[in-house]
Amino acid sequence: MKNNVTYSVNPSGEKFALPKKDEYEQEFIRLEKLADNARKEGKEIVVVMGIGFVGAVMAAIVADTTDENGRNSKFVIGCQRPSIRSYWKIPMLNKGVSPVKAEDPEVDEMIHRTVVEKQTLVATYNSDCLKLADCVVVDVQCDYSKQDLGNMRTGEADMAALEATMKTIGDKISPHCLVLIETTVAPGTTEFVAWPIMKKAFTKRGIDSTPLLAHSFERVMPGREYVSSIRDFWRVCSGCDNEARKRVEKFLHEVLNTKDFPLTVMDRPIESETTKIVENSYRATILAYLNEWSLFAERNGVDLIKVINAIKMRPTHDNMIFPGPGIGGYCLPKDGGLGYWAYRHILGFEDGDEIFKITPTAIDINDTRALHVAQLVRDALRNMSRYIAGSDVLLCGASYRQDVGDTRYSGSELVMRRLAEMGAEMYVHDPYVEHWYELENQDVYPAPGHSWSRFFRNQENLQEIKVQKDLPAALKGVEAMILAVPHEQYLQLNPDDIVKWAGQPIAVIDCFGILTDDAIRRYFELGCEVKALGRGHIQRIKKEVKNQSS
Ligand SMILES: NC(=O)c1ccc[n+]([C@@H]2O[C@H](COP(=O)([O-])OP(=O)(O)OC[C@H]3O[C@@H](n4cnc5c(N)ncnc54)[C@H](O)[C@@H]3O)[C@@H](O)[C@H]2O)c1
């Protein structure tokens, strides 16, 4: 008999059959009973739409909420669409296992506590759960998809998931339910896209009242403070009208630590939406700005790392950061794009290219900075009379920042792709990353037709890449090592060990100011070649070593 069951596979390879049509009704009956019981116990019912990186943890934080008497005050239903890519998150969460991998131990503890011990959190695929909600939190994605590498102006906001979610919510919630959009959206989305969708749905259902819609963006930071970066952190919020504003303030005071991290309430959602976009564009811009000084430094004997450290002594300038091989992460590469896109497509202005100069340039610079790393590898190998084509190159660090396993839009991915295109045999080591999905699943990840692989040739073999964990073994026989991310393990590496493990002098490329001057000197003494982003003083050290030995 033909087996037509469709499966969703979790990151460790476990298969989960997608629910069939006839299971939806039973699932709703289960949720209804749970919600009834919770309501009898005085709990508010909160539905979190989208249990991804942000939604899963936000759902657990809300489910962990207690009132002034220490009693659990919320019952949370995490609602996730049953797609092949994401359905597995539901059965995992229902077992009390976090669907997101985090370096913060509190994520696993809190999800286990709320699902298994407190029983205040469940997950479902059935969006009819919206009918049971007093409050809905929207944590679905809103991506900015770029058509070209290094030209964000041709990109567009991918509103489909958010628009579909808002329509479903409008079709199903009760009139007095508060809806809170936490997704980072193009400014204007809450009032001019989401609210009209919901109003239309209400009118169709014969509901006279106005939907209660609010916005409050996330500032979550992947890493060891994951939970704190949501719960114990300053929030900004606003509502489409006075009632929505009052309701969202009350809700956030209940679920977040607003006592220590006060809430900022804005007049209108476009102001809170713009806050998020400007905040991240500011960060992207100060990082991009250092790219030109990084090139200046490389070509003029200047160590930009020392320059930055000298400037940071001045308290007014102490938030300068060296940009590394590009910026990466989910938010900084896309958020400015949402603002640029909204100006024309939501707000109706035609002169976007005249007024937006800095934000698009910053994103374009950050998106392509990693390509320069490939040039440094090429040049270092050439100085050792080797060619990039056919050389074995080890990339140390696949994630976008130190000591996390998050690989989304990491500069390292571009380094891999460009060097693979130039014919290098690429290998990767990362203590925090198990699977590099952007490479392993490049046909479908981050979405079919959206992989960066489309901007390069010769990418097929990258699908076979395995992230290595044993650094000495990974180094055996390589001709070049790229230190791409300042993971703790890479900070204190001893040049003598590296050369011993590689079995020969190698090219060492430092992308993040990881090497001390002593280490650089020692690499040269051992016959290695060293190049680095923004560190022109290396040539001086090389000359000194050469003069000493001659
Ligand atoms: N991850 C971060 O580091 C971070 C930081 C700050 C802000 N944000 C913002 O938070 C938002 C969410 O990001 P994320 O990282 O959690 O994304 P994600 O892709 O991990 O999660 C989104 C989830 O929503 C689900 N979904 C989509 N449509 C749905 C629907 N109609 N019904 C139910 N589920 C649906 C998806 O399947 C997915 O599981 C984004 O706007 C992002 O910009 C993220």
With contact defined as beta carbons under 8 Å apart, do 247 and 213 qualify? no
Do residues 460 and 477 make contact, with C-beta atoms less than 8 angstroms apart? Answer: no
Report CA(55)–ligand 1 centroid distance (Å).
7
Strand partners, 534: none
Distance, in Å, from the CA atom of 463 to the CA atom of 356, rounded to the nearest integer, reads: 37
Q: What is the pLDDT of residues 209-256, one digit of tens each?
A: 999 999 999 999 988 999 999 999 999 999 999 999 999 999 999 999
CA distance 511 to 534: 8
Residue nearest to atom 15 of ligand 1 (CA): 53
Residue nearest to atom 8 of ligand 1 (CA): 218
Residue stretches of the chain with pLDDT short of 70: 1-4
Q: Which residues contact 399 (CB under 8 A, 6 or more apart)?
A: 405, 406, 407, 410, 412, 430, 432, 433, 485, 487
| DSSP symbol at 193 | I
CA 183/CA 119 separation, integer angstroms: 26
CA of 222 to the centre of ligand 1 (A): 14
* Closest Cα to atom 31 of ligand 1: 165
Q: Which residue has the CA at smallest separation from atom 7 of ligand 1?
A: 218
Q: Any residues with Cβ below 6 Å from ligand 1, and which?
A: 49-55, 79-81, 83, 86, 139-142, 161, 164-165, 183-184, 218-220, 222, 330-331
Give residue 52 CA to ligand 1 midpoint distance, Å. 5
Task: Provide the pLDDT for residue 3.
Answer: 54
Rounded to whole angstroms, what are the CA distances from 1 to 5, 17, 262? Answer: 12, 17, 61
| 190 vs 244: CA distance, rounded Å | 12
Tokens of 465: 């890449």
Q: 433 in helix, strand or coil?
A: coil
Distance 318 CA to ligand 1 centre (A): 32
CA distance 456 to 403: 28
The partner residues of 137 in beta bridges, in order of sequence, read: 48, 180
Dist. CA 388 → ligand 1 center (Å): 39
Smallest CA separation from ligand 1 atom 20, residue: 52
Which of 142, 330, 409 should be mutated for ligand 1, with most atoms under 8 A from CB? 330
Calpha distance 117→120 (Å, rounded): 8
Looking at residue 2, its pLDDT comes to 46
| Ligand 1: residue whose CA is nearest its atom 10 | 183
Pocket test for ligand 1, best of 8, 16, 18, 53 (most atoms within 8 A of CB): 53
Q: For residues 505 and 143, what is the distance between their CA atoms, to the nearest angstrom? A: 44
Ligand 1, atom 24, residue with closest C-alpha? 50
Q: Which residue's CA is minimally distant from atom 39 of ligand 1? A: 52
With the most atoms of ligand 1 within 8 angstroms of its CB, the residue from 18, 49, 54 to mutate is 54
The β-bridge partners of 156 are: 145
Q: How far, in Å, is the centroid of ligand 1 from the Cα of 505?
A: 45
Closest ligand 1 atom number to CA of residue 83 = 37
Q: Are 256 and 60 in contact (CB under 8 A)?
A: no
Which residue's alpha carbon is nearest to atom 5 within ligand 1? 220
Residue 204 CA, ligand 1 centroid: distance in Å? 28
How far, CA to CA in Å, does 131 sit from each of 31, 45, 49, 168? 10, 10, 13, 10
Would you say 514 and 484 are in contact if contact means Cβ atoms under 8 Å apart?
Answer: no
What is the C-alpha separation between 374 and 533, in angstroms, rounded?
Answer: 11
Question: In this structure, what are the phi and psi dihedrals at residue 18, rounded to the nearest 5 degrees?
Answer: -70, 145
pLDDT for position 47: 98
- Residues 244, 262, 49, 437, CA torsion sign: positive
Which pTM does this prediction carry? 0.94
Residue 476 to residue 442: CA distance in whole angstroms: 27
Tokens 């009032």 sit at which residue? 191
What is the DSSP pairing of strand 143-145 with strand 156-158?
antiparallel
**46 close to 134: Cβ distance less than 8 angstroms:** yes
Pocket test for ligand 1, best of 93, 140, 184, 334 (most atoms within 8 A of CB): 140
Residue 466 CA to ligand 1 centre (angstroms)? 27
What is the distance in A from the centroid of ligand 1 to the CA of 266?
A: 23
Q: State the distance from the centre of ligand 1 to the C-alpha of 460, rounded, in angstroms.
A: 29
Nearest to 433 by CA among 14, 103, 90: 103
Measured in angstroms, how far is the CA atom of residue 510 from the centroid of ligand 1?
33
Per DSSP, the chain holds a count of helices (H) and strands (E) of 22, 18
Q: How far is CA 542 from CA 148, 395, 467, 496, 504, in A?
A: 39, 23, 32, 17, 18
Query: Long-range contacts: 298-307, Cβ < 8 Å, 24+?
Result: 298/532, 298/533, 298/534, 298/535, 298/536, 299/536, 300/536, 301/536, 301/537, 301/539, 301/540, 302/536, 302/537, 303/534, 303/535, 303/536, 303/537, 304/513, 304/534, 304/535, 305/513, 305/534, 305/535, 306/537
SS3 at position 45: strand
- Report yes or no: 398 and 430 within 8 Å, Cβ to Cβ: yes
* Angle, helix 358-368 to helix 269-299, in steps of 10 degrees: 50
Q: C-alpha distances in angstroms, 503 versus 391, 484, 495?
A: 15, 21, 12
d(CA 424, CA 435): 21
Alpha-carbon torsion 324, 325, 326, 331, what sign?
negative
pLDDT at 550: 77
| Residue 221 CA to ligand 1 centre (angstroms) | 14
Going from the Cα of 441 to the center of ligand 1, the distance in angstroms, rounded, reads 19
Buried b (16+ CB within 10 A) or exposed e, 247-265: bbbebbebbbbbeeeeeeb
What 452-456 contacts at long range (C-beta under 8 Å, 24+ apart), as own/partner pairs, is 452/149, 452/413, 452/414, 452/417, 453/417, 455/148, 455/149, 455/417, 456/417, 456/418, 456/420, 456/421
Ligand 1 atom showing the smallest separation from residue 219 Cα: 6
Which residue's CA is the closest to the ligand 1 atom numbered 21?
52
Task: Calculate how far, in angstroms, residue 305's C-alpha sits from the geometric centre of ligand 1.
Answer: 35
Kindly write down the DSSP assignment for every residue of 61-124, as one continuous string: HHHT-B-TTS-B-EEEEEE----TTTTTHHHHHHTT--SS--S-HHHHHHHHIIIIIS--EEEE
